[in-house]
Structures are given as C-alpha cells and as structure tokens.
Amino acid sequence: MDKIIDGKKLAEDILVKVKNETKKLYKNHKIQPGIAVIIVGDDPASQIYVSSKSKKAEECGFLSIKHVMSKETQEKELLQLIETLNSDPKIHGILVQLPLPDHINTNNITQTIAVQKDVDGFHYINIGKLAANIFEDTIIPCTPAGIMMMIQQKCGKDLSSLDAVIVGRSNIVGKPIAALLTAANATVTIAHSRTRDLDEVCRSADILVVAVGRPKMIKKGWVKKGAIVIDVGINRIATSEKKTTKSHIVGDVDFEEVREKVTAITPVPGGVGPMTIAMLMVNTLKATARAHKLPVPEF
C-alpha cells in the first residue's frame, strides 16, 4: 500500500464531482454557485492564496468575484461590503482572506458574514454546531473537513478504538478536527507546544494530526509504528545551498524520517493544501443548494 496520502489527487477527484454537480444545477435549475473572495492589503502569500481560490472556483463553473481592498481600508468599509454581499442572491459563499491588517478586528469581520454564506466555517454558530455534534446545515471549516476525508479514506468512517492526537489547538484546525474525530468515535487528545512529555503523547497516537507551524518538529522517535500522520504545517525555510537565497516549503513533520515508520503520511506540499481548496468549493456548492432548498450533494 502506498504510504503517501496524495492530497492533490484526492482533491482533483472531489473537484470533478463539484464540476459535475454544478453543471447539473445549472442545467436543471439555471442556478450558478457564486463565491466572493475579499483580500485587504498586498501580502504576497495572501494574493497567491486568493488567486488560487478564485481560479479554482472559475474552473468549477462558479461565479467568482474578487474584491481587492487597500491595506488602508477601514473596518467600516469592509463591513459594508460584507453586508452588501450578504444580501446579494447571486453570492452563496463569502470568504475574507486572513490575516487582516492590525487595525481591523478579525472577529467583527468573520461574525458579520451571514452564517449560511460562511464557507470558511468560522462563524460562531457554525463552530458551536460542530462542537455540539450537529452536522445538518453546518458549514465545516475547509482544512479539518479535508483532513477527515483523508483519514476516513485510510481508516473508514468509524474510528472506534483508535487514539487520535492533535498537536495544535487553533480555532481553524486543532479544535474543529478534534470535534470531527470525536464525532467519528476516535479517542481524542489535544496537545500543544506546552504539553508535558509531548513526544510521549504523540507516540500514543494511531492518528497524529500536526498543526503548530514549527518546521520538522515531529521526528521519527515521536511517532508510533503504523500510525497515520497528517501534516498541516506550511513553513518556508532557506534552502541549504551555498550562495543561494532560495527557500522551500516543509511541514511540521520530518517527512523523510517519519515516512519509514508509518502506515500513511501526507506530504508538504501536495497533502492538506489542495484538499483545503477543494473543500472550499464543496462548501460553496452545498451552500448554494441550501439557499435554493435543493438536495445537498454528498461527498
């Protein structure tokens, strides 16, 4: 069995289904999913992410609208734009690219997006329903949703008798994936950089999800033999060649070391990243179906 969980291939398969469902939606109901992506400022990484999301939406057959705002944009202006998009029937999903400039309160922004258009899954109502194990009409954050698809592809939908350890407690990845794993009957531990004997905790995991932003932190000795390892980290580090200013991307897991010991592992890049964008398209398609009271496609 191939140890590498190919997120790119799995994402491509999901996007094929999204495209087909989008075609059917338009053919049968003359409805086109619409997503609005907002970027504030000129952060190069954010610009790349936004372009990638907008391009993928267009490839899926969505109406894709990009709003580019200067870094001097005031919070009030951004809130007004969101309110306009909330009431636009052609827009079914709204995404504000994070991080925002320091003078803008991120919580105010994410909580102003209409719950049913919150395709990032950051609204407190969506977060609360997920924590309460209520999945009907709940929008699940894209990265955790993609991670669960990867895990369930390897382990099946029922994770009873499996111990899962999540290293990282963020609202974007750590806490939502803990809720999803718990709902799938795994026994879940949330750990972080201040956890005592972290290496020992990690070694107890049948499923290890790492999202801490520390390059190659998880070594071979930290991982149980036969575990499944999901690396969410994206860290840019300098390439160790003389006379070069080049850099490359690595995860939070020392991939080459750890891959020898595990049943399955996600690479960085090419693992979780493509799945995050694919699940954004899934969330937008589902939001469109709900908005028009149509059957919600299963993925």
The torsion angles phi and psi of 230, rounded to 5 degrees, stand at -110, 115
- The reported pLDDT for the residue numbered 1 is 53
Question: Taking the CB of residue 225, how many other CB atoms lie within 10 A of it?
Answer: 10
Task: Give me the CATH topology for the region 142-272.
Answer: Rossmann fold (3.40.50)
pTM of the predicted structure, to 2 decimals? 0.95
Q: CB of 15 within 8 A of CB of 278?
A: yes
Residue 231 annotated as catalytic: no
DSSP β-bridge partners for residue 36? 65, 94
- pLDDT given for residue 243 in this prediction: 61
Instruction: Examine the residue annotation and report whether 24 is marked as an active-site residue of this protein.
Output: no
Q: Is 97 a catalytic residue?
A: yes
Report mean pLDDT in 10-residue bins for the chain, 299 residues.
Answer: 91 98 98 98 91 97 98 98 99 98 98 99 98 96 98 97 98 97 99 96 99 96 98 89 76 97 97 98 99 97
- The residues, any chain, with a CB within 8 Å of residue 182's CB and separated by 6 or more, are 133, 188
As its CATH architecture, domain 29-114 has: 3-Layer(aba) Sandwich (3.40)
User: Phi then psi for 54, rounded to 5 degrees?
Assistant: -65, -40
Return the domain boundaries, the chain.
29-114, 142-272
Contact present, 179 and 252 (Cβ < 8 Å): no
Q: What pLDDT does residue 244 have?
A: 62
Reference 142, options 111, 121, 115; nearest CA is: 121
Out of 118, 120, 252, 254, which one is annotated catalytic? Answer: 120
pLDDT at 239: 80
